Amino acid sequence: MGQFLDAALERSLQAERCGALVPLETEVVPLAGCEPFVLRRLLSETPKHLRSAGPKPNPFLPWDPALEVACLSREHVLILNKFPVQRGHVLLIPQRWQPQSGWLSPLDWQALAAVEADTPGLWFFNSCAAAGASQPHRHLQLLPRQASEPSCPLAAACVEQLQGQQQAWPWNYRLSPRLHAGTGDAAAELLELYHRHQSELGLGAPHQQPQPQHPYNLILEPNWFMTVVRTREHWAGMSINALGFAGCLLITPESDTAWLQQHGPMALLAAVAGSSR
């Protein structure tokens, strides 16, 4: 795999021993009619970031040194997700305060491209609390993947859409192919796709608005880049972040699984995303 994943796994062992890392225990829930979505039931105590609460402290300024994987530059650092469902789940964060609700910068995309060139996988971003973000300090998230492993349950459907073999989903989003992942042109391509999607979806532009005009999610992997406009964070007792649009749902004690089984995951996503235009 890559040196960043190796470092993340080694750091995970150390951090778990000292209590800095708190892996969440889950089990896969087979729910008829929900394929190809993967549903996991949370068996551990619900972590604070999934509970409704008041203002949250910033755990990234400063970040816990026990969770640090690599200092990428004077601007960015790679740290472990404190409450991972998957081993090696890392966060790319700026070393100085940057708001989650602000525009992602060229430096953010340069840092992401540098990590991806070594350790590919599924990246996702929740633009604010209404899009599933648990913290106000900017953080992009990576779930590393092996070369032969699908990035997410909906990866094949995304490729089929790009090839014209599947109908578009009924919400407001953009899905584009990536041609330069892992190359020196990756950062520029990512920045161009990000700005183009934001403009086409009515989210605005950095030179016109101080921040995007609506909540949104980003999901990307080496073959494609997707942006989804959001209208709300919860539905049927389920908290939906960007991973929902990748085909991954987390069931907690508050989740209405009867509603989910009756209506299906696509209706759940349609309920929290803007309708297509």
Residue 65 lies in a domain: yes
CATH number of the domain to which 180 belongs: 3.30.428.70
Residue 32 lies in a domain: yes
Question: pLDDT tens digits for 61-80?
Answer: 999 999 999 999 999 999 99
Residue 117 lies in a domain: yes
Compute the mean pLDDT over every residue in the chain, rounded to the nearest whole number: 94
Three-state secondary-structure class, residue 54: coil
The pLDDT value recorded for residue 65 is 97
Q: How far is CA 56 from CA 94, 96, 140, 208, in A?
A: 18, 18, 18, 30
Three-state secondary-structure class, residue 193: helix
pLDDT beneath 50: ranges in the chain: 53-54
CA distance 248 to 38: 5
Domain count within the chain: 1
CA distance 193 to 176: 8
Residue 178 lies in a domain: yes
Question: pLDDT tens digits for 172-209?
Answer: 999 999 999 999 999 999 999 999 999 999 999 999 99
**How much is the pTM?**
0.95
CA distance 104 to 96: 14
Residue 277 lies in a domain: no
Domain extent at residue 168: 3-272
CA distance 129 to 30: 29
At position 131, the amino acid (one-letter code) is A
Residue 34 lies in a domain: yes
